[in-house]
Amino acid sequence: MNVTEDLARFVVETPAEAIPGPVLHEGKRCLINFLGVALYAARDPSLDIMLDVFRHEGGRPNASVLGVGIRTSLQNAALANGYLGHLEDYDDTHFPTVIHPSSPTLPASLAAGEHYGSSGRELLAASVLGMEACCRIGMAVHPAHYDAGFHITSTCGVFGSVGAAGRLMGLSTGQMVHGMGVAGTQAAGVREVMGSMTKPFHPGMAARAGVLGALLAGRGFTSATRILEGRRGFAAVMSREHDLAEVTRGLGERWELRMNGLKPYACGVVAHPLIDAMIALRSRVGQPAGQVERVDARVQPLVLELMDRPDPKIGLEGKFSFQHSMAVGFIDGAAFPAQYTDARVVDPEVAALRGRIRAEVDGAMPEDAAEVTLTLKDGRSYTENVAHATGAPQNPITDSQLEAKFRALATHALPNRRAERLLAMLWDVDRLSGVGELMRLTRMPRSVARD
């Protein structure tokens, strides 16, 4: 079994014309979603810490950091943009594995595409194939790998980033095998850091690892040729249970990107059905939060595993609190980035409602489903069942909803007219002669006012 070589060949040799139209369209949606989220996040002060390190360490201006007027090395740009893509926890999710495939993969393809003068069609194909590789490796090791405490977006993300970057750099199949080896041995990231700046650092780290792996392999650097299936390779070492047949089963026929969903809410995806339920209950009940006696939810096990934080102290922790997400869903009717600020997390009304929310696990509950019962102080109760959360593959956000999300986010970093130009360019990215034209639209000094 030559899993690594078979996957490398698929990423390198699959012509863009062989990728189904609906899959390429989903790739465009991922690009639009990723860039909107990353541009919004570029206003976060935490980026200054990273940029200060870049200025101190130096780096040739080969690729753009999104949302700021800065160009830096390919590795630095991949790191920063991967961080920005995941900072708000508003990126995409591959539902079978809970991988966020865009944030480690697209920063690598954008950096490589900008520097090497790739066309938009080449960028799109490389991005789709990289995300496919990332998700298929995730399918092979999930759930044991994730249950062990690894952040699967980061650990599997290195393969998406090296695949996308390496294809745009023109690696041969043999070179891609070695690039995967270099990237795979850098696979890292543990879930203990969730709720801190280091969680979004993981996709950036994975993007950087993939770019470095591709750069080295393209120059003759060698590595293991069986990084996935080897006796001491990625799967054997990092997942006590795995099925490597998932990596190549139906390769080129079944596309995992079709199981990818774009988030309507800026928090952990397992809380999304709960937010849907609370927004619906807000409309039905018509009572303020102070009249709520208690809220009881029946949830999938990952909700308590990942998001049981009844008393978050900062906004980043709130993104991993199902209690906070439910509370703002009811009080604000929304769960956008504004609902996950430090100030909103400590708001007394929100905190009070969080304290009245309870959940019990139902092992038979699908990941994108939930049942919520809200009881008022006068004894009346209301129940809301969500079969498929908004944004799930069975209930995806529409293209028009995605455009609205992009506009709401991107205009925090770009003038309105420039954001519209960028959006139009992304829908037609496969007709774009060069990625550099796209990236120029994303660069905007922070001091420039929006029109």
Non-local CB neighbours of 383 within 8 Å, separated by 6+ positions: 371, 372, 373, 374
How is residue 188 written in tokens? 């890292």
Q: Which domains does the chain possess?
A: 3-263+396-442 (1.10.4100.10), 269-386 (3.30.1330.120)
Neighbours of 76 (CB within 10 A): 27
CB 54 within 8 A of CB 231: no
Report H helices in 219-314. Answer: 234-238, 245-248, 272-285, 301-307
Cβ contact 86:97 at 8 Å: no
322/272 Cα distance (integer angstroms): 9
Q: What is the pLDDT along the chain (451 residues), one digit of tens a residue?
A: 699 999 999 999 999 999 999 999 999 999 999 999 999 999 999 999 999 999 999 899 999 999 998 999 999 999 999 999 999 999 999 999 999 999 999 999 999 999 999 999 999 999 999 999 999 999 999 999 999 999 999 999 999 999 999 999 999 999 999 999 999 999 999 999 999 999 999 999 999 999 999 999 999 999 999 999 999 999 999 999 999 999 999 999 999 999 999 999 999 999 999 999 999 999 999 999 999 999 999 999 999 999 999 999 999 999 999 999 999 999 999 999 999 999 999 999 999 999 999 999 999 999 999 999 999 999 999 999 999 999 999 999 999 999 999 999 999 999 999 999 999 999 999 999 999 999 999 998 765 433 3
Q: Report the candidate in 191, 200, 152 with the shortest Cα–Cα distance to residue 340.
A: 200
Q: What is the pLDDT of residue 1?
A: 64
Strands 357-361 and 292-299: parallel
- Residue 3's φ and ψ, nearest 5 degrees, are -65, -45
Tell me, what's the pLDDT at 408?
96
Contact present, 132 and 18 (Cβ < 8 Å): no
Q: How far is CA 418 from the centre of its chain?
A: 24
CB of 131 within 8 A of CB of 102? yes
- Using a cut of 0.75, tell me whether the model's pTM lies above it: yes
| pLDDT for res 450 | 39
What pLDDT shows up at residue 208?
A: 98
pLDDT computed for residue 446 by the predictor: 63
Residue type, 192: E
CA dist list (Å): 309 to 171, 273, 315, 326, 441: 45, 17, 12, 12, 39
pLDDT for position 447: 52
